[in-house]
Structure formats: structure tokens, C-alpha cells
Structure 1
Amino acid sequence: MYPFLRLAKEFHVHRNAAPLPLTGTHVSHHMCWPWDLDLWMELNNGRTLTLLDLGRLPLAKRVGLIGALREQGWGLTMAGVTVRYRRRVRMFDRFQIRSRCVGWDARFIYIEQGMWRGEECCNHALYRSAVTDANGIVAPVRVMEAMRRTTASPPLPGWVAEWIAAEAHRPWPPMAG
């Protein structure tokens, strides 16, 4: 089940947090609960992606994206993700989620997130997100205008640009059978 109560808690905890610049880092604090576990008694890989929402959505609010989405009647979707899992997160482990926008291109906004236990990164994700309306994807330049920002994207880090290029070569639709 989606962690609606945990998400509500995050919005409540960060309700008075200062606005962030577009590439600012939002830090949130969490715990791995028994219902987050898999058969091996560690944080389930799919649940990891769900818990990252708890950092990404408050980040969107703090940079002004949520307000623009509401004003314009737009939606937000994830169009891709790549994840590295490096350290186990076990029951009752406390961790931070660090979330930030690394930049955007003509179609997508790229969000970097990591789960940290102290100074050790347990996993790291790069999301490709899209703002949508009834006609499909809204260009990030329009999104920035709706957010009353005139900032151009910072140069995307090389590893992000290489992931984008690799995804462009991935066949779609995938082979069936």
C-alpha cells in the first residue's frame, strides 16, 4: 500500500521549510518499518522507489513545482529511473533521503536521490520525470515559466547525459516473447 500517512507527515514536517533554488537539496529523515521489508528482512527494492517519493514530492513543493502544477492543472509522472543498490537497509534502520534536481532538457526533468545512513550511501537513483497535461508532456521551459523562473538548466553531469543517450538507443516497444 502506498505510504499516504508517511507522505502527509513529510508535508507537515516541512510545511515551513524555506523555499529551495531549483537545484537545491531537500533532506528528509525516515525509518525502515517491518512492512517495508522483503523475504530477506531488508528494505524491498520496489519499496525503496516508493519511499523515494517521500523526498521527491516535498522537494517539488519547496522549489515551487507543486504550486505551478496546481495553477496550471498539470500532472507529474516518472518516465524512467535507474537505481544502484549498494548497502542493505534493515528493519528499524534510520536513514536520510537526499533529493535534488540536476537539470532538464527539452522534455524531461532529472532528479537525483540517495538514501543515506550516516555518511554511507545505501542506494542512489536518477529519475527522469515529466510534467503532463491533456496533450502529453509539457516542455520544461513552459514549466519554468509557470514557476516564474527564467533559469536555464545547468549543464547535466556526464553520467546523466550518458544515461540519457543510452536510453535513446533502448528499443521501444521492447521485444515480446
Structure 2
Amino acid sequence: MYPYLRYTRSIVHAVIANKKGQSLDLVQTSEVIVRCSLTDLDPMLEMNNGRVLTVYDIGRTDFIIRTGLGRLLLKKRWGMVVAGSTIQYRRRIRFLDKVTIKTHIVGIDKRWIYLEHSMWVKGQPCSSMLLRTGVTEGGKVIDTTRVLKSLGKEDWELPPTGYVAEWIASDADRPWPPVGLRV
């Protein structure tokens, strides 16, 4: 089941943080702390890999709200989509572990905003996820220049480099639909 209570609590905390002057600039990193609960566990008694993706939603929502993007999305009736992701797992997250979720922007191109999430337990990285996200209007992804202009950041640039640029290039070569599933 989706962790609606935990998610709602994180939204309330992000809104309160903004009201207390703890908003973030787009270049900053959001940090949210959650506990690995019983409903997060798989049969190996560690956080389920699918739950990791769901818990990253909490970090992304905090980042969106605290940077002002959330308010802009509501005001303009825009949406936000995830159009691709890649993830690496390095350490297990166990029951009751205190998990810090870090979220920041690692690149922006004409169409996409690339976010990176990471989970940390006791100062050790456990997983990292790279996301391709887009802002939508009427169901279609809009240019990031419109989004940045609406945020008062029209001169801000962060072109994807390094592993982010490599992932973008590699993903562009990936056949769609998947080769083994074509009709």
C-alpha cells in the first residue's frame, strides 16, 4: 500500500519549512528523514526495492515544494512527470533504520530536469537514483525555459555533464518498445 500518511506528513513539513523561511534555491539539496517501517520490508527484512522508489517520491515532493516549483505547478495548473530513471543499490536498509533522503538537480536541458536522489543511513550511501522529469501542461511536456522563467531563473543553466550526459546518450540508443516485446 502507498504510504499516504507518511507522504502527507512530508508535504505538511515542507510547507511549514517554507513558511519558516527554510525554502531552497534550485542549486541546493533537499534533505528529508524517514524511518524504515514494517510496511517497507520485503521477505529479506530490508526495504523493498519498489518501496525505495516510492520513498524517493517523498524526497522529490519536499524538493519541489521547498524550491517554489510546487506553488508554480498549482498556480499554472501544470503537472510533473517522471519519464525515465536508473537506480543503483549499495547497502541494505533495515527495519527502523533512520534514512536521510537527499534530492538535488544535476542537469537541465531544453525539455527535461534531471534529479538525483540518494538514501543514506548512518552517513553511508545506500542507493542512488537518477531521474528524467518534465513539467507538463495539458498532458504534454513543456520547455524548461518556460519553467525557469516562471521561477525567475531565466538565466540559470545547468547542462547535463558526466554520467548524466552519458545516461541520456545511452538511453537515446535504447529501442522502444523493448526488442523482445515488439508485436
CA distance in 1, matches of 2:7, 2:153: 27
Alignment of 1:68-83 (within 5 A): 68-83=72-87
| Offset, 1:115 | 0.3
| SS of match in other structure, 2:59 | helix
Write the letter of the residue equivalent to 1:102.
V
CA contact (8 A) 1:55 1:97 kept: yes
CA distance in 1, matches of 2:27, 2:76: 22
CA contact (8 A) 1:23 1:103 kept: no
CA distance in 1, matches of 2:88, 2:157: 25
CA contact (8 A) 2:17 2:66 kept: no
TM-score (norm 1): 0.95
% identity of equivalent residues: 38
Alignment of 1:62-141 (within 5 A): 62-134=66-138, 136-141=140-145
For 1:16, the equivalent position in structure 2 comes to: 17
| Offset, 1:85 | 0.3
| SS of match in other structure, 1:11 | helix
Query: Unpaired segments of 5 or more residues in structure 1?
Result: none
| Offset, 1:19 | 1.7
| SS of match in other structure, 1:16 | helix
CA distance in 2, matches of 1:4, 1:145: 32
CA distance in 2, matches of 1:168, 1:155: 17
Give the total of aligned pairs. Answer: 177
CA distance in 2, matches of 1:101, 1:23: 7
| Offset, 1:148 | 2.3
For 2:7, the equivalent position in structure 1 comes to: 7
CA distance in 2, matches of 1:123, 1:102: 16
CA contact (8 A) 2:72 2:151 kept: yes
For 2:35, the equivalent position in structure 1 comes to: 31
TM-score (norm 2): 0.92
For 2:159, the equivalent position in structure 1 comes to: 155
| Offset, 1:119 | 1.7
Write the letter of the residue equivalent to 1:74.
W
Write the letter of the residue equivalent to 2:88.
R
Cα deviations across residues 66-97 of structure 1 (Å, max 9, x unaligned)? 11111111111100110000000011111100
Structure 1 stretch displaced more, 148-157 or 36-45: 148-157
CA distance in 2, matches of 1:151, 1:26: 22
Query: Unpaired segments of 5 or more residues in structure 2?
Result: none
CA distance in 2, matches of 1:153, 1:161: 15
Cα deviations across residues 98-133 of structure 1 (Å, max 9, x unaligned)? 111112111110001100012210000001101111
CA distance in 2, matches of 1:131, 1:98: 21
Aligned-CA RMSD value: 1.3
Write the letter of the residue equivalent to 1:37.
L
CA distance in 1, matches of 2:35, 2:139: 39
